[in-house]
Amino acid sequence: MYGPINPKAPFIWHGGDYNPEQWPPEVWVEDVRLMQEAHYNVPTVGVFSWVSLQPDEHTWDFEWLDRVLEMLHASGRYFVLATPTAAQPAWMSQRYPDVLRADNTGRRHHHGRRVNYCPNSPNYRRFIREVASRLAQRYGGHPGLLAWHVSNEYGGTCMCEVCAEAFRAWLRRRYGSLEEVNRSWWTRFWGHTYTDWSQITPPYANGENLTHGLTIDYKRFQSEAMLECFKIERDAIREHSPDVPVTTNLMGTYPLLDYREWAKEMDVVSWDCYPWPTADPGDIAFLHDLNRGLKDGRPFILMEQTPSSQNWQPVNQLKRPGVLRLWSYLAVAHGAETVMYFQWRRGRGGCEKFHGAVVEHHGRTDARVFREVSELGAELERLGDATIGAATPARVAVMFDWNNWWAIDDAVGPVREKRYVETVRQHYRAIWRKNVPVDVVFSDSDLSRYDLVIAPMLYMVKPGVAERIEGFVRGGGVFVATQFSGVADEHDLAFEGYPGPLRRVLGIWVEEIDALYEGQVNHIVMADGTGTYECGRMCDIVRTETARVVATYGEDFYAGTPVVTENRFGEGRAYYIASHPEDRFLDEFYGLLLLEQGVQPVMETPAGVEAALREKDGARLVFLLNHNPEEVTVRLPEGEAFLELLSGEELRGEIVMAAYDVRILRADA
């Protein structure tokens, strides 16, 4: 159980991006009228409005924003207030060119687009501090204000000279001596030893980009530098608005920022959810669970989603009727406290003018999308605080780690496409398909609360991680590792033998790694004769030490050698899956493990119907989500009755769910 994000508004926020500065005031009046109709009760204001607030270095204009916020509030709305710092004004780039980012050859960008600032630029940092401070001073106490939305979708990389210099300072702090840098980066390779700090550069595309200690440290440094920008704004805000939570909108498994580190600095996690129309709902669920995991289970803000379509994909298909509602509840089922959109009203110009919006260019309210949004808004309003602050009682965890991802992607060999994220998702989905709640955890997470921890492709094992895993297993947990694990330390230096520090808990060592061509397969042959499954891509050739062989390879010169092993360790067990398996293997493998660990599904459902669980005030909230494009019948547990929260009806026995329909069943303990 958690408190609401802001005690002023203990309900599901329904709203999102609103850019009144793009429109004349007469449209604002219409906006408020339509928001009323759409139950759009928490608009996000201010994103990208910098030049409207600060038309030149020494001029400020808050009047328009005063009026907008007043109108919103007067009409009964709350709002999220954004700082505008995701795109600096043209005058700033012009007068202070160091605010502009440089590309991966060190060449400065021209002004334009967005997120085009150097995160280490002293001028940029000075300006963001000032604008954040002024906004907080002026609006920090506004009764309508629910949260601060700092900047927007941080990302990218800068390789300018300011960054280069800051990087060298960062390295001095991190390593203390140049000798330690050389040692950690294995620079004797190709004679790359640095003999002076000044020789170190960013990993330019046309320079040094194959020293992996350098490349991963530069990613860490840039992630931290951008986080520093966030912190500058956050701290400026807190000074004047200490009681309002501060966040920034994340982007799922965005590759370049270590969100786990970011979350530690955020009061509440928020994120923008843009799955492809053809996405597996399990992959969307994974992202929600990941965001919930960033703060160890705390519910989060769904800051953006499209009401209808995206615009930047090759093909931007409309969400079919009902899918917006379904995916909104999917978010809530996995921890969202809000249902918010990009965007309220489509701009007439700009490169997002074909991005879905609540109010489309025609501006009509008798349109499908506006109606769906409005009906959802009304329904959410009726739901009140029923789901607010609910927890997710997961006993299974899947581990994800940005540093690990970076190192895997840098690794040259054994195959070019390592597919770390896809692999994590594959394991996640195998559990998710069983209607078993999963937490996404990180390499620094506390594992003690779980029965099963899965760490797919844990290539990089940072200090303390193996110890934590050993402790978890010793205490009775079941741990699953896969191919290409325990390969390198936090500097991406290979261990002298894989799986490195995981060797003891897994009871194996890896002699070689074979790589299979696309379309080429080997097989997992269960030692007990229960089945044979395809595997491929990478095949670790494994030798057991204390482990026993659960399955062997079916083909090739390593036929008959271990492909799945089990090691009893303390009170628990640790498994190694040495090759990339087909889904069917994971279904059966995890089915057995969950049975043995006594982990039950939330509910048994037909294919394509998800049952997700949250708990609040001792009651179980079961979200039934029909991901199928057709009607389905679900049989509720024998003899149990549930209060369905959306309809207020009591349900039992067989229920019929329409295509994409949702039920929220409450069962009190």
Partners of 454 in beta bridges: 398, 480
Q: Is the peptide bond before 414 cis (omega within 30 degrees of 0)?
A: yes
In the list 316, 365, 546, 628, the residue contacting a copy of itself (rule: CB under 8 A) is 316
Q: How far is the CB of 585 from a copy of itself (least distance, A)?
A: 22
Nearer to a copy of itself, 35 or 510 (CB): 510
Q: Which stretch binds a copy of itself (CB under 8 A): 70-78, 190-198, 447-455, 461-469?
A: 190-198
User: Which residues are CB-contacts of 273 (< 8 A; sequence separation ≥ 6)?
Assistant: 252, 284, 287, 288, 302, 304, 305, 327, 331
Regarding 281 and contact with a copy of itself (CB under 8 A), the answer is no
Under 8 Å between Cβ of 174 and 217? yes
Q: Is 352 in the site for a copy of itself (CB under 8 A)?
A: yes
Query: Should residue 342 be labelled a site residue for a copy of itself when binding is judged by CB under 8 A?
Result: no
Active site residue 63: no
Question: What are the backbone angles phi and psi of residue 59, rounded to the nearest 5°?
Answer: -120, 135
How many residues are listed for the chain in this entry?
A: 669
Residues of this chain, 97-136, that bind a copy of itself according to CB under 8 A: 103, 105-107, 109-114
Which CB, 540 or 610, lies closer to a copy of itself?
540
How many chain residues interact with a copy of itself (CB under 8 A)?
113
Of residues 66 and 189, the one with the C-beta less far from a copy of itself? 189
Within 62-91, which residues bind a copy of itself (CB under 8 A)? Answer: 84, 87-91
One character per residue 235-254, x = contact with a copy of itself (rule: CB under 8 A)? --------------------
Contact call for residue 519 and a copy of itself (CB under 8 A): no
Q: How far apart are alpha carbons 575 and 549 in whole angstroms?
A: 10
Nearer to a copy of itself, 52 or 387 (CB): 52
Residue 482: partners with Cβ closer than 8 Å, 6 or more residues away: 423, 427, 455, 456, 457, 458, 576, 577, 578, 580
Provide the CA 567 distance to its chain's centre, in angstroms. Answer: 32
Q: Which residue is catalytic, options 21, 233, 304, 372? A: 304
Of 7 and 191, CB closest to a copy of itself: 191
- Work out whether 546 is an interface residue with a copy of itself (CB under 8 A): no
- Pick the piece of the chain touching a copy of itself (CB under 8 A) from 35-43, 167-175, 267-275, 504-512: 504-512
Question: From the CB of 142, what's the least distance to a copy of itself, in Å?
Answer: 22
429 neighbors 282 (Cβ within 8 angstroms):
yes
220 touching a copy of itself, by CB under 8 A: no
534 annotated active-site: no
Query: Which residues define the annotated binding site?
Result: 114, 118, 152, 158, 160, 163, 312
* Catalytic residue chosen out of the listed positions 153, 372, 470, 610: 153
Q: Cα-flanking dihedrals φ and ψ of residue 477, to 5°?
A: -75, 160
- Which residues, in sequence order, are CB contacts of 112 under 8 Å at separation 6+? none
Q: Do 272 and 342 meet the contact criterion of CB atoms below 8 Å apart?
A: yes
In the complex with a copy of itself, which residue's Cβ is closer, 60 or 189? 189
Per the CB < 8 A criterion, the answer to whether 451 and 599 are in contact is yes
Using the rule CB under 8 A, is 522 a contact of a copy of itself? no
Separation of alpha carbons 192 and 172, rounded Å: 18
- 521 lies in the binding site for a copy of itself (CB under 8 A): no
- Using CB under 8 A as the binding rule, whether residue 560 contacts a copy of itself is answered as no
| Contact range with a copy of itself by CB under 8 A, out of 261-269, 288-296, 315-323, 562-570 | 315-323
Q: Considering beta carbons, is residue 378 or 493 the nearer one to a copy of itself?
A: 493
Binding residue for a copy of itself (CB under 8 A) from 8, 67, 188, 548? 188
Question: Angle at CA 408, nearest 5°, toward 406 and 411?
Answer: 110
Q: How far is the CB of 409 from a copy of itself (least distance, A)?
A: 13
Nearer Cβ to a copy of itself (431/632): 632
Whether the Cβ atoms of residue 163 and residue 201 lie closer than 8 Å to each other: no
Binding-site entries for substrate: 114, 152, 312
**CA 438/CA 334 separation, integer angstroms:** 10
Closest to 15 (Cα-Cα) out of 375, 380, 361, 339: 339
Nearer to a copy of itself, 21 or 661 (CB): 21
Q: Residue 577 and residue 484: Cα distance in Å, rounded?
A: 10
* Residue range at the interface with a copy of itself (CB under 8 A); choices 192-200, 251-259, 441-449, 572-580: 192-200
| Amino acid at position 629, single letter | P
Shortest Å distance, C-beta 515 to a copy of itself? 5
Q: Which of 304, 439, 492, 566 forms a contact with a copy of itself (CB under 8 A)?
A: 492
Shortest distance in whole angstroms from residue 414 CB to a copy of itself: 5
What is the footprint of a copy of itself within residues 24-63 (CB under 8 A)?
Answer: 48-52, 55-56
Annotated binding site for Zn(2+): 118, 158, 160, 163
Which residue in 361, 474, 548, 635 binds a copy of itself (CB under 8 A)? Answer: 361
Q: What are phi and psi of 116, to 5 degrees?
A: -120, 30
Task: Spell out the residues 6+ positions from residue 208 whose beta carbon is closer than 8 angstroms to its own.
Answer: 192, 201, 214
Burial per residue of 150-169, b for 16 or more beta-carbon CB atoms within 10 angstroms, e otherwise: bbbbbbbbbbbebbbebbbe
Strands (E), 194-262: 246-247, 249-250
Binders of a copy of itself in range 523-542 (CB under 8 A): 541
Catalytic residues: 153, 304
